[in-house]
Structure 1
Amino acid sequence: MPSSVCTKEAFKVFQAKNGYMFPFNSVKATRTSFHTRWVLMFNRGEKPLFCPSRHQLVPASTFLLEDLQHLIIEGQAIPLPPDYCEIADCMYYWGRTMDHRWYYDVVNFFSSILSPTPHPNGINKKCLFRYILSLYVQTRLDFNWFVVQQWHNYFDLLYVQTDDFFFLATSSTSFVRNHLMAATYPQHSAEDSVSDYMDENMSEVTPEVVRSAEE
């Protein structure tokens, strides 16, 4: 029976072949192992009956370090780079309780961008975070592109203040909730309500934007 432990030689060969490609070139690595908080596991069998994805996010701490390296070099697991780990932290513990479909949209996106066939470059952090949040915003707003564009502007302003994904996610879900409430109880137009929301919630962001513009 073959060993489930990744040898130093096997890891060295894997690194020589794949170490310069994304996502492996974006994950902390030593001479014998990758170090990450999350891995994307690939289900080689049939898709589970009640699960919208054949792939799963799994905390790396679930496995012994040696076993995890074996899964990675055998192509059964993909280590997540730091920006993706930040998203996984949020989505696994908070996002899937907010919207189960959104969570699996993110998992499926990860499976496409972190595929077993590596490629040279990843996505920059701002574009990555924007895309992940847009999966929620666009569907919840029923692809109302006028309001979606307002959210994009809102996201740009927020990102000047912080690149913390959880903050961006909670702010974006609040933005959507405000619009939906305004559409349900239209004292005035939903578009005006969204504009009011942005004005009221930019007080802490605006000074940062002004300083950035002045610099």
Structure 2
Amino acid sequence: MITTAPALLRDHPAVISVEFAGSRSRGTHAGLSDWDFAVETSDFEALARDLPTLVLPLDPLSQQWEPMGHFPVYQVLLHGLTKIEYLFLSESQQPVPAREPTAESLASINTHFWDWIWWIATKGAINRTDLVAEHLTQLHDHLLRPMGIEPVPLSVDAAIGAFASRRDALERQFGVEVDRALEDEVRRGVERVLGQG
């Protein structure tokens, strides 16, 4: 991963550099930590437009822009639940407000939930109960409450149950169906690391 993920971007004309970053680069990572790469670019918009195609050789399970950070992060989740993040530290962004679910937005809400709940589960696996509680509250504020879910879930398992039930109801309401591949793999991962899900 340390060579493959950056190599996919390095030949793009807008890329200045791609450097190994984050806890893995410092040797302070846990077994389930993300693989982070800091990207310098001369044309962020051009690179951002091409990223979905550039990462296709990784056969991603999902890919998305992290909507809540103060700088852009492109998140790629692979089969086996290995996660790559391309960090654009020199750019800035305003966190995206919570979105109301619609027929058009439900698929991206679904992707955001399963990506986020897997991250929370990895913190639970190393007993970071402080981060689990903090992010379950944020997950509720940003995703679950706009879907009509109350109250704040007290566990990863409770969040998964509440989300899946409400998502299924919204699919019926909107006459759409989101892909279940990401959900299926995350559920298996949560069961493996937490014994729930």
- Superposed pair shares fold, TM > 0.5: no
TM value normalised by structure 2:
0.31
TM value normalised by structure 1:
0.29
Which structure shows the bigger proportion of residues in strand conformation? 2
| Structure of larger gyration radius | 1
